[in-house]
Amino acid sequence: MESFLSFVHEWGYIAVFLGAIVEGETVILTASALSALGYLNFYKVMAITFCTTVVVDQLLFLVGRRYGPGFFERFPKFRPRADRAFKLLHRFDKWFILVFRFIYGIRVISPIVIGAAHVEHKRFAPLNILSAFIWTTISCYSGYAMGDVLESLLKNIEKAEHYFLIAISVIAALAGIYWLWKRYLKKN
């Protein structure tokens, strides 16, 4: 437990940064829960999450603008997800830009698709910022709310460790007695 907490203290904010780059909801939720327990600063977790996700999605949008649909011809393994994202973008337009972060499986590819569809930057940027704010707020506050659950779990793990060691000791003692009893019966 001590080593985990020292890891969180030393590398927690870097983990938040890396988690926000990819679909890192688990990292963001965990970091927010740990901030509820006082191990990380909640507002730093939110700021890192928000800034990272905005910048990464802006960069991916620019990749889509620069390389266009040819990007998906060059990397055909992304094509099925990109096709799904293109359909959603054409059907729901700005609403898709607002909610793509919440759609599992196409979250990372969506900004590239939006850029490749030649959505104007002045249209994408404000929607991206608003979407990132909504996603960050929901993710971080959800994790923060789970902090109490995590605290209870950590306390129970410490108790469970104690009972686990007692149970192992009792089982080992019973196995030893059984082994001695079998040995005694073989001799007699």
How far apart CA 76 and CA 73 sit, in angstroms, is 5
Tally the domains of the chain.
Answer: 2
The whole-number pLDDT of residue 99 equals: 95
Q: Is residue 2 pLDDT above 60, yes or no?
A: yes
Q: Is residue 1 pLDDT above 70, yes or no?
A: no
One domain for residues 44 and 131: yes
One domain for residues 57 and 97: yes
Segment 61-87 mean pLDDT: 93
One domain for residues 41 and 96: yes
One domain for residues 55 and 132: yes
One domain for residues 43 and 84: yes
One domain for residues 109 and 173: no
Its domain, for residue 166, covers: 150-188
Segment 63-86 mean pLDDT: 92
Segment 31-59 mean pLDDT: 94
Q: How many residues does the chain have?
A: 188
One domain for residues 48 and 115: yes
One domain for residues 34 and 60: yes
Beta carbons of 115 and 61 less than 8 angstroms apart: yes
One domain for residues 58 and 96: yes
* pLDDT band at residue 184 under the 50/70/90 scheme: confident
Structure tokens at 8: 């969180």
The H-or-E segment that residue 64 falls in is helix 42-67
Complete DSSP assignment for 7-37: HHHHHHHHHHHHHHHTT-HHHHHHHHHHHHT
One domain for residues 85 and 171: no
The whole-number pLDDT of residue 25 equals: 85
One domain for residues 19 and 88: yes
Question: Looking at this protein, which amino acid is placed at residue 27?
Answer: V
One domain for residues 36 and 52: yes
* pLDDT band at residue 13 under the 50/70/90 scheme: very high
Question: Looking at this protein, which amino acid is placed at residue 45?
Answer: V
Structure tokens at 120: 């104007």
pTM flag (> 0.95)? no
Beta carbons of 33 and 146 less than 8 angstroms apart: yes
